[in-house]
Amino acid sequence: MFGYWKREAIRQHFVIVGLEEELQVMSDRSDTQAGAIKAIQKRAGAYASELEELEQIREDEVNELKAQRCELNATILRLQKERDQVRGALFEGHTFMKSVMMEVEIAAQKYGHFNSLHEAYSVLLEEVEEFWDEVKKKQENRDLEAVRSELIQIAAMAVKANDFIMEQE
């Protein structure tokens, strides 16, 4: 019986030693993991700082681009105003040309700018066809104001097409 207790004590000793070794391994792992966690936290802090710097740089660049856009819009408005003044001076006293420029402005406000030369061509073609419809009428049935109106619209669409080309340059 004493042998049983001795064997049991030895077995218990090995269990305890095994548990102690396992505890030591777990402790070592825990220390390693704690070190890894600290290293990860340190890197995360560095990444967070870098991210903050990058976000600040991005924000600064966005603000700079917004400022440049405002400057460009102001320049565009100034140039459009100057263009309109030059056009006005060129056509002063010419009622036909004044009518054309008024038609350009009305069309621009109503329909916006042309999106392509194809669109400009189709609009010009439509206006020419409307002019042709008036021309085909017998002379006694022609409405000269309608003919003049179609000519004004043709000229206005030609100006709009030219404006589109100038915007592309």
Q: Which two tokens stand for residue 14?
A: 């090995």
Quickly list DSSP for the chain: -HHHHHHHHHHHHHHHHHHHHHHHHHHHHHHHHHHHHHHHHHHHHHHHHHHHHHHHHHHHHHHHHHHHHHHHHHHHHHHHHHHHHHHHHHTTT-HHHHHHHHHHHHHHHHH-S-SSHHHHHHHHHHHHHHHHHHHHS-GGG--HHHHHHHHHHHHHHHHHHHHHHHHH-
- Euclidean distance between CA atoms 21 and 150, whole angstroms: 101
Predicted confidence (pLDDT) per residue in 81-99, tens digit:
887 777 666 555 578 888 8
Residue-level pLDDT at 89? 63
**Structural domain range at position 140:** 94-169
State mean pLDDT over 147-159: 93
Residue-level pLDDT at 28? 72
Predicted confidence (pLDDT) per residue in 24-50, tens digit:
777 777 677 777 777 777 777 777 788
If asked whether residues 9 and 81 sit together in one domain, one would say yes
Q: Which two tokens stand for residue 83?
A: 């263009």
11 has pLDDT over 90: no
Looking at the structure of the chain, the number of domains it has is: 2
Predicted confidence (pLDDT) per residue in 110-140, tens digit:
998 899 999 999 999 999 999 999 999 998 9
- 73, 90, 107: which is the final residue of a domain? 90
pTM above 0.75, yes or no: no
If asked whether residues 141 and 84 sit together in one domain, one would say no
